[in-house]
Amino acid sequence: MTTNFFQNIASLNLPGTWKLVIQTDADGNMTVSELFNATCGDKAVKLIIPYTLTGTAQDLDEAFFTKITEPVVKTAELQTNLEAHLKSVEQAKAASKLVQDAKAKEAKDAREAKTNTATKNTGDAEIPEPKISKEDKKKAYDEAMSNVTELIKKFKFSEALTILPSVEEHPNKENELKKKRQYLEQQANLYEKALLNYNS
């Protein structure tokens, strides 16, 4: 007997693990549970339940791949997005540490330069410590918030959180930034739950 079952699976071109459970009853009907799992480091994928079909052997032969293709593709997309999200969070953490380390070194160098200048000062006015202009700071803030807005339009709430300016850098925008962070955290949580529910 020849079957094209495995060729149909191969044609979906989705790397991952397939788990199939087939149960038969006394009337000759079958219940098939299918669960596809792409490679993903997020534990949230364990919340995805199997997709179940019930029918005669002939019904399942005719409709199995038609019925499971869309759910399996969406599951793979969700898991791929979760994996990409986890990687982006790690990259953002690393980038943030590099930025903070660079700022700390810059501040230390500036303090040392100021101390050296004060030591060598022979009565002339002390050279002030270089500062970022208000215009440059405002421009950077506006640009970051514009990027946040664009990510929100694309429902990329988690990514928007990673680029949201900090209250420490912009204390005069504390209320606005706190409200925006709260909104993004709520939306990211709701969006992730909605995707999980949609695929279940």
Q: What is the per-residue pLDDT across 42-89, written as a single tens digit (0 to 9) for each? A: 565 566 777 788 888 888 888 787 887 787 777 767 666 666 666 777
End-of-domain residue from the set 35, 61, 79: 79
User: Would you say residue 197 lies in a domain?
Assistant: yes
| Number of alpha carbons in the 13 Å side-chain half-sphere of residue 112 | 6
36 DSSP β-pair partners: 18
User: Would you say residue 125 lies in a domain?
Assistant: no
- How far apart are alpha carbons 109 and 157 in whole angstroms? 37
User: Would you say residue 48 lies in a domain?
Assistant: yes
User: Would you say residue 177 lies in a domain?
Assistant: yes
User: Would you say residue 90 lies in a domain?
Assistant: no
* Mean pLDDT, residues 5-23 taken together: 81
Number of domains comprising the chain: 2
- How far apart are alpha carbons 120 and 114 in whole angstroms? 10
User: Would you say residue 146 lies in a domain?
Assistant: yes
The region, left, alpha or beta by phi > 0 then psi within -120 to 50, assigned to residue 75 is alpha
30 DSSP β-pair partners: 24, 55
User: Would you say residue 1 lies in a domain?
Assistant: no
- How far apart are alpha carbons 20 and 168 in whole angstroms? 52
Closest-CA residue to 52 (of 74, 30, 84)? 30
Query: How confident is the model over 16-45, as pLDDT tens digits?
Result: 777 888 899 988 888 988 877 766 555 655
User: Would you say residue 185 lies in a domain?
Assistant: yes
pLDDT band of residue 120 (cuts 50, 70, 90) is low
- How far apart are alpha carbons 99 and 32 in whole angstroms? 52
Can you give the residue range of the structural domain that contains 157?
131-200
End-of-domain residue from the set 79, 101, 120: 79
The answer to whether 86 and 42 have CB atoms below 8 angstroms apart is yes
